A and B are shown apart, each in its own frame.
Chain A
Amino acid sequence: MIDARGFSCPMPVLMVQREVKKSNPATLEVLVDNMTAVGNITRFAASQHYAVKVDEIDGEYKMTLTK
């Protein structure tokens, strides 16, 4: 689980990129707190052939990336 809450653009997507490069996980959960990060991570995930599920919980977003 990557907790990218509170980090400003483009840190959340960079944290995801780093994890994908390092271990190429089949599933990855990411916690973010703004829709800009959701959009950025969704575009990056699509470029890496991940499907993305977004659940909103109290104004924060849990993103689940799966291959």
Chain B
Amino acid sequence: MENEKKGFAGFVKRNWLVILTGLIVGAAAVILTALGNPKNMGFCIACFERDIAGSLKFHTAGVVQYFRPEIVGLVLGSMIISMIKKEWKPQGGSSPFTRFMLGMLVMIGALVFLGCPLRMVIRIGGGDVNALVGLLGFIVGIVIGTFPLRFGFTLNRAYKQSPLEGLFFPILLVILFVLSLIPELFAKSTEGPGSQHAPWCAALLIAIVVGALCQRSRLCMAGGVRDVVLFKDFHLIYGFLAIIVAVLIGNLITHNFKFGLADQPIAHTDGIFNFLGMVLVGWGSVLLGGCPLRQLILAGEGNSDSAITVFGFIAGAAVSHNFSLASSVKGIGAGPVLWVLISGFVILAALSVFNTKRRA
């Protein structure tokens, strides 16, 4: 088998695609920032879904409303390549409501930190030390989440669905995207991060390429750390590291690298909340079986459980902003952030325990 090859040649053969994907994702983030996306936010699944929630007026935070074409592109890229490679498969029915709730919690945690795991990696590449604190929390969350996995945690089987069930989500995204091009129909920020965006055609095309590569390589931030913890398998984490390398080089070239804690782009310095937010993200992502980026890719492959999870993310973003749980550059939100995080941990603990079937 291919995995038997030892040495550097074997390493390259086993890992080239995930490393290439990581490098291209990192480069895409830098390019999209140069084209207008917010700094250290060339690609952020949580932020972009939050912006979409705002554009659809699910929340009314005026600075974060824009229908981000990147989300549409990632799903389309995954859908197209999985159809070509005959991996497109309409599937669903694996604890959909639990997944929706997990999606909400992951998003609430991500918006306390200010970024999904992908943006966390991009922030690290930009020199933002707060993101290293977030990484620590993310790792702790994943380690916690691997315990229920070891003891038989499951959200049960998904089953084959009709082609329409698998296509519904990508079709809906395309329709919404086309509608978003009609002036004044959706909300659109005139200031703040939501007003900063690359031209839609560039964002869409780059995201289609990235989505296709992510589908082929199975790149996943949560999976990277989880596989190291569970199987001592470093395959996915090479992609994670490749993103950091590409972003670091790109930021050095474009003079956007700034090392330190203070005054980082769209970030705050409250270490405890950066940590706790990402614990929630890590733990929730492990129970979901993948980070927010991976959920989009799976939704593109026809998985309606992941499509529901994405709507959980969008609902979570609306809750975060409507109840002032989301952080900003000024610090954490004015709402009951700590209590919501604690409630989130209690819910995750309950889901972890009650979905675990102890096996001999």
B149 interfacial contact with A, CB 8 Å: yes
CA distance A59 to B155 in the complex (A): 23
Among A8, A9, A36, find the residue whose CB has the most chain B CB atoms closer than 10 A.
A8
Could you count the A-B residue pairs with CB atoms below 8 Å apart for me: how many are there? 68
Is B255 part of the binding interface, using a Cβ–Cβ cutoff of 8 Å? no
The answer to whether B70 has its CB under 8 Å from any CB of chain A is no
Cα–Cα, bound, A60→B279 (Å): 35
Chain B interface category by residue count: 20 to 34
On whether A6 and B226 interact (CB within 8 A), knowing A42-B3, A46-B4, the answer reads no
Chain B hits for A33, CB < 8 A: 89, 91
Q: A6-B159, A11-B154 are in contact. List 5 more A-B contacts (CB 8 A).
A: A7-B157, A8-B94, A14-B149, A14-B150, A43-B233
How long is the Cα–Cα vector from A17 to B151 in the complex, in angstroms? 12
In the complex, A5 Cα to B162 Cα: how many Å? 17
* Contact sample, A vs B, 12 pairs, CB 8 Å cutoff: A7-B158, A8-B289, A8-B290, A9-B223, A9-B289, A10-B230, A11-B154, A22-B360, A33-B91, A42-B2, A43-B14, A44-B233
Footprint of B on A, CB under 8 Å? 5-11, 13-14, 17-18, 22, 33-36, 39-40, 42-47, 51-52, 59
What is the CB-to-nearest-CB distance from B224 to chain A, in angstroms, rounded to a whole number?
Answer: 12
Chain B residue at smallest Cβ distance from A36: B218
Q: Given the complex of chains A and B, what is the CA–CA distance between A46 and B289 in angstroms?
A: 22
Q: B51 near A: Cβ within 8 Å?
A: no
B33-50 vs A, Cβ < 8 Å mask (1 yes, 0 no): 000000000000000000
Residue from A5, A33, A36, A59 with most neighbouring chain B CB atoms (10 Å): A36
A54 to B, closest residue via Cβ = B1
